[in-house]
């Protein structure tokens, strides 16, 4: 499909080809699904929210519910205030959520709708809530929209006077429910009470029960969000997805925050586990020490297959930085590191990861890049392995490359949203996938007499 991608690289500023991101409302919608009995609401046309719901449903293989202000020509010219008021009334009457989380779209942002004024002026039933965030699709990415929506919940609801009972606030980052469950397990082993916002477990990974629930029992409750204001400390996991809500919580309620990388790989997970131990005052549980040992054991056992392999990592910024860190620990050489989300901080952090390993020279690092960039780099530089989202499969096919799917979205395979990539367990799973992909390629290409069964 991509056989005609040219090798010659031309600098592009006003054009993206095969973008490495989707729009802000997708992330905002996903964040809102992590709040219990919350209805995400797209303030724009029906076509917008249809796309956003479809995108999430294809990744999670679960229905992503959301409503829309259903803009027509009239709302596009005169503003969508009347549409939003009618929508909010109908949603509370028909679906009875506890919260409606409104996010904007390109259209409502371009015409200048003032959601804050609309919400202040509308009649909201007693005991119900409406929150909002601004998510213009023509800037940022789905990760930006996710951060904005989480920060919106904090700004509307966090209350410094609400007791948190010594709990820690955890902003987990843009991750799958499988990762959130792993966070909970690690926090539980550390004996640390916590409030996680958002929490899509039980919502986007619900079991098959035979009956449909529009509002499953998962998600962070409104009372828990209020209690964030009294948290003893906040852990913001992933700079790009969690810094904004952490700053919002500090600005409103004075809660200090540690911004940390996603705990992907040995070093980053060590940092997270050490932070939990320091906050709780308890030693690191033996169970986690053993899990770490198993990951390190795999890294040593499979080192002949990892060592020196040139890999290309792409996807969401926090996830890409985490996978790049793990790849370096495995002895691999990340030659291409790219995300579609803009921000110089990504390039700075990626180079800081590569430099101590002597991998910076010759590496290509880019924020606000796209898959056309990546494909051209591969044509010029070569690579041994692709690690990233489903959209890399076309490059893998065109260049005949081994491919490991990780991150968001994985649209063409099943079960990825259930599997963690964080923590020692997640690192073990991801390192196994990488070794399998490399060894599968060796088996495919070797002579019959070299096809080994025992390694």
Question: For the chain, what percent of residues have pLDDT higher than 90?
Answer: 88
Q: Rounded to whole angstroms, how far apart are CA atoms 378 and 336?
A: 8
DSSP H stretches of helix in 158-308: 177-189, 222-227, 239-253, 266-280, 286-301, 303-306
Residue 180 near residue 172, CB atoms below 8 Å: yes
DSSP three-state, residue 191: coil
Q: Is the pLDDT of residue 452 over 90?
A: no
Burial 292-329 (b: 16+ CB within 10 A, else e): beebeebbeebeebbeebbbbbbbbbbbbbbbbbbbbb
DSSP three-state, residue 401: coil
Token pair in block for residue 56: 């999430």
Q: Rounded to whole angstroms, how far apart are CA atoms 131 and 90?
A: 16
Q: Rounded to whole angstroms, how far apart are CA atoms 130 and 113?
A: 16
Region class of 238: left (phi > 0), else alpha (psi between -120 and 50), else beta: left
Q: Is the pLDDT of residue 272 over 80?
A: yes
User: What is this structure's pTM?
Assistant: 0.96
Domains and their CATH numbers in the chain: 24-157 (3.40.50.1980), 168-286 (3.40.50.1980), 294-450 (3.40.50.1980)
Q: Is the pLDDT of residue 80 over 90?
A: no
Mean of pLDDT values over 437-451: 94
Strand order across the beta sheet in which 99-104 lies = 67-68, 38-43, 99-104, 129-133
pLDDT of residue 423: 98
pLDDT of residue 1: 62
Give the pairing type, strands 364-366 and 385-388. unpaired
């Amino acid at each position: 499909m991509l056989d005609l991608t040219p090798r010659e690289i031309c600098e592009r500023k006003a054009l993206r080809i095969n973008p490495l991101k989707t729009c802000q409302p997708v992330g905002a919608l996903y964040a809102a699904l992590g709040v219990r009995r919350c209805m995400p609401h797209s303030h724009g046309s029906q076509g917008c929210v249809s796309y956003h719901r479809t995108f999430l449903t294809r990744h999670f293989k679960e229905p992503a519910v959301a409503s829309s202000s259903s803009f027509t020509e009239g709302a596009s010219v005169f503003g969508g205030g009347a549409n939003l008021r009618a929508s909010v009334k109908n949603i509370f009457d028909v679906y009875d959520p506890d919260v409606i989380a409104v996010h904007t779209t390109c259209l409502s942002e371009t015409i200048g709708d003032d959601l804050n004024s609309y919400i202040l002026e509308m009649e909201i039933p007693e005991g119900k809530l409406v929150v909002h965030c601004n998510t213009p699709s023509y800037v940022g990415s789905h990760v930006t929209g996710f951060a904005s929506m989480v920060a919106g919940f904090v700004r509307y609801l966090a209350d410094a006077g609400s007791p948190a009972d010594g709990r820690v606030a955890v902003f987990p980052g843009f991750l799958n429910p499988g990762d959130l469950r792993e966070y909970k397990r690690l926090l539980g082993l550390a004996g640390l009470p916590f409030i996680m916002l958002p929490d899509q477990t039980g919502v986007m990974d619900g079991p098959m029960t035979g009956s449909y629930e529009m509002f499953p029992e998962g998600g962070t409750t409104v009372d828990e969000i209020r209690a964030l204001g009294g948290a003893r400390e906040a852990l913001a996991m992933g700079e790009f997805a969690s810094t904004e809500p952490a700053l919002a919580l500090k600005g409103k309620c004075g809660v200090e925050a540690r911004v940390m990388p996603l705990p992907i790989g040995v070093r980053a997970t060590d940092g997270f586990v050490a932070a939990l131990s320091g906050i709780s005052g308890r030693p690191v549980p033996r169970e986690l020490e053993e899990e770490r040992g198993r990951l390190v054991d795999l890294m040593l056992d499979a080192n002949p297959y990892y060592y020196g392999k040139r890999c290309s990592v792409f996807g969401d910024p926090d996830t890409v930085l985490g996978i790049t860190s793990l790849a370096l620990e495995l002895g691999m050489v990340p030659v291409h590191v790219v995300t579609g989300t803009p921000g110089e901080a990504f390039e700075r952090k990626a180079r800081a990861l590569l430099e101590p390993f002597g991998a910076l020279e010759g590496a290509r690092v880019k924020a606000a890049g796209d898959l056309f960039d990546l494909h051209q780099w591969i044509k010029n530089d070569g690579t041994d392995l692709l690690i990233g989202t489903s959209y890399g499969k076309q490059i893998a096919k065109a260049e005949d490359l081994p491919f490991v799917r990780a991150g968001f979205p994985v649209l063409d395979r099943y079960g990825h949203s259930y599997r963690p990539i964080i923590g020692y367990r997640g690192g073990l799973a991801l390192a196994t996938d990488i070794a399998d992909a490399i060894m599968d390629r060796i088996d495919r290409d070797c002579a019959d007499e070299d096809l080994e069964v025992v390694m």
